Chain A
Amino acid sequence: MIAYLDNAATTRPFDSVKEIMMKTLEEDYGNPSSLHTKGVVAEQYVKEAKNIIASNLKVDAKEIVLTSGGTESNNMALIGGALANKRAGNHIITTKMEHASVHNPIIYLENNGFRVTYLNVDHNGHVKLDELLEAIDDDTILVSIMYVNNEIGAVQDIAEISKKIKEKKKDIIFHVDAIQAYGKYRIYPKKMGIDMLSVSGHKIHGPKGIGFLYIKDKIKVKPIIYGGEQQKGMRSGTENVPGIAGLGQAVKEIYTDHEEKIEKLYELKTYFINEVNKIEEVKVNGVDGISVKDTACHVVSVSFGGIRSEVLLHALAEKGVYVSAGSACSSNHPQLSGTLQAIGVAKDLLDSTLRFSFSVFTTREELDYALECLNEILPKLRKYRRH
């Protein structure tokens, strides 16, 4: 049996996504910039996808820039946003548990003259509002906070954060990395006070290599890729029509019967947490004293005492159970997870943490199989502890 429980890494594309992509590869392979019919047909796919996304977010299609994925969206938002607004100030605020595609562009900006405040988070991975408000000063131009954390599934109260930021300083640009949140929550940027929103296609059963950045009208962002002035010059490069068509289709499908899908995911998550807690020396991260419903429906972070995550990961993979390690490790280059450190996971558990992540394709049988494998493997591995 196979239990693919690494859906926060990537998801299996919907069949309907594959179909529409095949069509753009087999018949409608034109370049959207071409003047002839093939070009017009291709352009229709792009327009259609933008319309689907725009109506899903309740924004204008003009406010959507299609990118090569989450990383590019974050880079464009941060680097493009900071460069376009540097006359207004040079201070950026973010958190200590952002994804590398936010963290590293910000380091780049820091190395190029911007001042950065990195906010702490509590043991459940929540931003401390008072600390955030205190960090804001006259020079603050940009705040970037992830909606759902990719390692532990912590969810921020985005609307509340936005409200408080704007009360303190009206013209701050609020960027939200929603790569793990989109498809799991209904997100309405206008209502929630989000100025820029990053999304990736392959986390919602779309293809890899496609994503978008919502940029609110009037927010200034400089392009980071220059060339043939496609997408009104915001993102040059021939549009990835198969990817774009697939993305649009994925958005459509993931938000069909959405409440039921999410409800089912929470049931699976609650079940998995309960069962995994029955195993000895286990700690589920990011759920202390809060309801499961206050965490994302698809991520469970579990620390296994006395186990090296990578070894457990390989042992599970041998049995067809696919998960991620909470932190990338190797004997030479220990690289411990920023998120797990930020939420205060005990030092000896940092390298003992696995992430199980679910999708609409995940079944109870898969979870049972994974649990069965854990129960079989853990005692064997624990016999040989590090000394």
Chain B
Amino acid sequence: MPWTLTLLLGLLAGLIIAPQATSAQSRGETLVVVTEVGPNMLDIHAPGANRPSYQAAWNIYDRLITFGSKTLKDGSKMYDYASLKPELAESWQLAPDGMSVTFKLRKDAKFHDGSPVTANDVKWSFDRAVTVGGFPTFQMKAGSLEKPEQFEAVDDYTFRVKFIRKDKLSMPDLGVPVAAVINSKLAKQHATQQDPWAVEWVKQNDAGGGAYRIESWKPGQETIYARFEDWKSGPMPKIRRVIVREIPSAGTRRAMLEKGDADISFDLPPKDFAEIAKEDKLKVTGIPIENSHRYLGMNVVKPPFNNVKVRQAVAYVLPYEKIFSTAFFGRGIILPTPVATNTFGYDPKLYPYKMGDTAKAKQLMAEAGYPGGFETPFYMDAGRTTTDEPAAVLIQEALNQIGIKTTIEKVPAANWRANQGKKEMPLFVDQFGGWLNYPEYFFFWNYHGQNATFNVSSYVNPEMDKWIDSARFETDQKKYAEDVREMQKVAMRDVPRLPFVQVYLDVAMQKNVVGYQYWFHIQLDFRQLAKS
């Protein structure tokens, strides 16, 4: 009996090891994307929609307008936030007084179920976005799109948006993933008394009219998109089918790319991108994420960090270079000032401190009344362990030199939002990035006295508010530039936070994958990709 068993096992092993061919043809028409986490719902307006669900929303829904593209010096392509292009709307006209805009929708657009797209669908979708609350409403508000009264379906193919104030962000805000056009007839069939916006149904089903439709969705495993052959809002995409597979292990994702089992991935650790970029098997593009930075934050209302001298002392010892090369492997740009390198107003000269001046730091600590230092917990988001843990350890070591003893606390990713909201963390590493590439937009959510969730330091300073409020609605270019400069000066003087890096959005792909373009939402736009 043992011998027959051994034979059986050997046969089994043989079956397993012998290579298996997959049809070459199917591989050529299909794009295989590997990612860590996929969409947890298909409705971007639903509460709790995670970031990968923006990718689904972007590709299966149309918006009124989209953005053009520009090519950077190194040949990589990115969206052009200053150039708005038609998508569902063929053309639009700003009213003479600038307080409204009228869109003419294309007449041949259809939803995935075959029904025509009309202005009523747009109105229903926008009403929904501003009413459901949470992130979509907050995002619409960023462009002063706040009330259903602002949206009017003039006729089946004419749609008007009335502005409640002149806001340069209103038009771009219509091109963000949240401003999706949903098939209202289909959705309304599944609406109930408690759920008038059919959130429960749209979460699980495709109610879109975008260039791709959902062929199958297995949450936690994979999402398969198929090209919508009747899509009219732009040039027909080249890729017929996209398979997005969720692979939790980064090492496996990289191995799949290198072996050719996957075509494209953008959420690998920076080390992998650095190495892949050096080898020659795959293409890597790295574009600094606009209007974003990763930073060391401090709570400015509670001791000990409520003393500005303590915060400045930290600035003097923060190991910018070490963090950049060791935690981020150079995949980004060292950014000691708050405005990102590819956002208006970027000025590295506004950094007033000398990096690595430990003596000065110790002097400041003594002046602040902490010559012997102090102890403090130090928080980080466990979801960003790959980069933030080494960064935190390096910061911990540096702070040790001036007597600040820290204990690193890793907070599970799902609880990070709650921690931000409570605003009790004295010292933490966090990041923020804004979809709309305007510095005052960033400052409004991070430094303004309105004390939004993202102002985790609880920084409230009327002087700062003055500059931010001025910048938001300033039309004169020179005054605007001055406002932005002053904002940063105050930020660097009070240092509620110390930005240290602007990370790249790194994307690795097979050499035959072309057309990749960076978008502000970070996600892939399948419509632009092709296999040569």
A-B interaction? no
| A interface residues (Cβ-Cβ under 8 A, vs B) | none
